[in-house]
Every structure is written in structure tokens, then in C-alpha cells.
Amino acid sequence: MVTHIVMFRPRAALTDAQRRNLAETMKDAVRDIPQLRRARFGHRVRTGRPYEQLMRADYSYVALLEFDDHEALKEYMVHPVHERLGAVFFECFEDALMYDFTLDEGDAAIDALL
């Protein structure tokens, strides 16, 4: 499995219409791009732990997009709906990080770190 991780902070001056457009375009991507197996979205929670003070940037939201493999991720990236999403997204964020990771579970995944 490959996970596309997007952490972002929207621009402070983002209008309600821009937020709705971003949300609708994200919904279109989830619904219309067949390579996308699972999509989860959320907002940051704070626990008051000391590590929160160590972060250099504060990202309010995250999107976790899961694909069967690297090839499916590459197909997603060139899909016309993703192209539209990218254009809308880049107009809306103040700061963002985007990374792709292979993810596994359990001891085998941990052992792969060794």
C-alpha cells in the first residue's frame, strides 16, 4: 500500500466560497478517481505534550489517501480530477507538506526499519 499524506494550513483570508470549492473538489476526487482506495481527512488535535512546542510549522489539517501500489498513485496524479484538485488546493493553502510512503502493518513493518 502507498499512502499520499498531505498536511496543510489554509490561508487565513480564505473565503467561505473558496473553502466550499476546495471541499467539493476533494469530494469529486474521492468519488471519481478509481485508483484511490481510501481517503481520510482530519484536523489537528492538541494534547499539551512538550513535543508540540518543538514543531516548526503548524498544520491544521491532514489528508491520507491510500493506493494499492506506486503505479496507482502515479495514475491518480495525472487524473484530470486530481489536476483540478491541485489547482484549487494550491490557491487555498498558506503552507503544506506532501509526502508519499509505503505502509505495512505489524512486526514486519517495524523490522523493515532495521
For residue 93, how far is the Cα from the chain centroid? 12
Portion of the chain with pLDDT greater than 70, in percent: 100
pLDDT at residue 95 greater than cutoff 90: yes
Alpha helix ranges (H) inside 1-114 = 16-32, 51-54, 70-78, 80-92, 106-111
Q: What is the pLDDT of residues 45-74, one digit of tens each?
A: 999 898 888 888 899 999 999 999 999 999
Q: In what order do the strands lie in the sheet with 38-43?
A: 38-43, 61-67, 2-10, 93-102
pLDDT for res 83: 96
Mean pLDDT of 76-90: 96
Q: Is the pLDDT of residue 112 over 90?
A: no
Number of domains into which the chain is organized: 1
Residue 109 predicted with pLDDT over 90: no
Q: How confident is the model at residue 8 (pLDDT cuts 50, 70, 90)?
A: very high
pLDDT recorded at residue 71: 98
| Mean pLDDT score of the chain | 94
Domain range for residue 82? 2-111
- CATH assignment at residue 10: 3.30.70.100
